[in-house]
Structure 1
Amino acid sequence: MSWDVEAGATWHAVIVDLLARVNFALGDELPDEINKATAPIGLDVTIYLVDHEQQRLWPLPRQGKPPPPPMSVDGSLAGRAFTSVRTQVPDPDTAPYRMWVPLIDGAERLGVAEVLVDPPPADRTRFQRWCESLVGLLGHLVAVKMPYGDSLHRARRTRAMSAAGELLTQLLPPLTFSAHRLSISAVLEPCYDVGGDAFDYAVDGPIARTMVLDAMGRGLRAGLTGATALGALRAARRDDHGLYAMARAADAALTEQFPDLRFVTGVLTELNMDSGLLRYINAGHPPPLLMRGAKAVRELPGGRRLPLGIEDSRIVVGEEILEPGDRLLLYTDGVVEAYDQGGDRFGVERLVDLAERCAAAGMPGPETLRRLAHSVLAHQDGPPTDDATLLLLEWSPQAAERTQL
Structure 2
Amino acid sequence: MPSISIAGVIDEMARQRALDDMGILDTPPEERFDRVTRLARQLFGVETAAVNLIDGDRQWAKSVSGIGPVEIPRDRSMCTVTIEHDDPLVVPDLSADPAHAHKMVPGLINFYAGFPLYAPGGERIGAFCVYDSQPRHFSARETEMLRDLAGWVQQELTVSQELSRASEVQQGLLPQQLLSLPGWKTAGVCIPARAVGGDFYDWYPVGEGAALTLADAMGKGIAAAIIAATVRAVLRSAARFGDVAGAVDAASAALTVDLDNAGVFVTAFHSRLDMDSGVLSYVDAGHGLSIVARADGSSQRLRSTAPPLGVDPETEWQVQTVQLDPGDTLIVVSDGVLDLYDGTLHSLDNLVTLALLAQDPWEIIEAIRARARGTSADDVTVLIVRRDDAD
TM-score w.r.t. length of structure 2:
0.53
- For structure 1, the 5+ residue unaligned runs are 1-50, 52-158, 340-344, 400-405
**2:273 equivalent in structure 1:** 271
Distance in structure 2 (CA, Å) of the matches to 1:230 and 1:327: 24
Distance 1:350 1:240, change over 3 A: closer
**1:215 equivalent in structure 2:** 217
Distance 1:174 1:359, change over 3 A: farther
Distance 1:296 1:312, change over 3 A: farther
Q: Counterparts of 1:14-163 in structure 2 under 5 Å?
A: 162-163=164-165
Q: Counterparts of 1:259-298 in structure 2 under 5 Å?
A: 259-293=261-295, 295-298=297-300
* 1:178-230, Cα deviation, whole Å (9 max, x unpaired): 53121110011137623110111123453222010101111111111001111
Task: Quote the sequence identity (%).
Answer: 30
> Quick check: 1:178–1:184 contact (8 Å CA) kept in 2?
no
SS at structure 1 position matched to 2:182: coil
> Quick check: 1:176–1:186 contact (8 Å CA) kept in 2?
no
Distance in structure 1 (CA, Å) of the matches to 2:251 and 2:206: 22
> Quick check: 1:329–1:390 contact (8 Å CA) kept in 2?
yes
Letter of the structure 2 residue corresponding to residue 330 of structure 1? V
Letter of the structure 2 residue corresponding to residue 359 of structure 1? L
SS at structure 2 position matched to 1:213: strand
* 1:7-51, Cα deviation, whole Å (9 max, x unpaired): xxxxxxxxxxxxxxxxxxxxxxxxxxxxxxxxxxxxxxxxxxxx9
1:262 Cα deviation (Å)? 2.7
Distance 1:305 1:346, change over 3 A: closer
Distance in structure 1 (CA, Å) of the matches to 2:234 and 2:181: 26
**1:119 equivalent in structure 2:** none
1:338 Cα deviation (Å)? 4.1
Point out the structure with max Rg over C-alpha: 2
> Quick check: 1:346–1:376 contact (8 Å CA) kept in 2?
no
**2:200 equivalent in structure 1:** 198
Distance in structure 2 (CA, Å) of the matches to 1:352 and 1:373: 17
Distance in structure 1 (CA, Å) of the matches to 2:167 and 2:388: 32
> Quick check: 2:326–2:390 contact (8 Å CA) kept in 1?
no
Deviation beyond 6 Å, 4+ runs, structure 1: none
Letter of the structure 2 residue corresponding to residue 297 of structure 1? S
SS at structure 1 position matched to 2:288: coil
**1:301 paired to 2:298:** no
- 2:321 aligned residue (319, 329, 352): 319
Distance in structure 1 (CA, Å) of the matches to 2:358 and 2:333: 21
**2:253 equivalent in structure 1:** 252
Distance in structure 2 (CA, Å) of the matches to 1:301 and 1:358: 19
Distance in structure 1 (CA, Å) of the matches to 2:390 and 2:288: 28
**1:170 equivalent in structure 2:** 172
